[in-house]
Amino acid sequence: MLPHGAGTSSEQGPIPLKFELRERYQVVVPGAIGRSYGCIFSLTTGSIPSMVDRRIAKKLGVNVRESEIVAFGEKSRVLKTVLPSIRLAPLHADTVTASVRDLSFLHGVDAIIGLDVLARSSFSIDYETREVVFGPLTAREPTVRLEVTPRS
């Protein structure tokens, strides 16, 4: 994946991060939210925005507010917050808007990190070596270029 947007990690060189693979598809890595180190993240390219578990939002003392979204023509109420920062290996993002949900069904995952954060750096996911590599990518087959276009 190729970088997009401000707040990218330093692109000095590839930086690998080992991950745990759960249920054959869920990429789980350590990280930090604000001053809360030792968080467990699930990396999910299919999620925008990122999500944080209710218990973590409470622990961080962040302001949680109700908001309305429209999806598939239906209006829904959701809880949102602004996280002070997210750190994941070399990737660092400040003031991240995130949904607040009960993520207990993910068994120990504190937050789902979506494309709103991941797209701030080039990265690849290697399921054979179980590594997420952040930074400049070497061309390999197969490669998928993804560009995230912010809403106007």
Q: Which residues of the chain have pLDDT under 50?
A: 1-11
pLDDT value for 48: 84
* Contact between residue 120 and residue 91 where contact means Cβ atoms under 8 Å apart: yes
Specify the pTM. Answer: 0.80
Taking the alpha carbons at both ends of the chain, their separation in whole angstroms is: 22
pLDDT value for 145: 66
**Closest CA relative to residue 121, chosen from 12, 10, 47:** 10
pLDDT value for 7: 44
pLDDT value for 54: 95
pLDDT value for 46: 85
For the chain, percent helix, then strand, then coil, each to nearest 5? 10, 45, 45
pLDDT value for 152: 55
pLDDT value for 10: 44
pLDDT value for 6: 38
User: Domains in the chain, please, with CATH?
Assistant: 15-134 (2.40.70.10)
Q: 């995230």: which residue's tokens?
A: 148
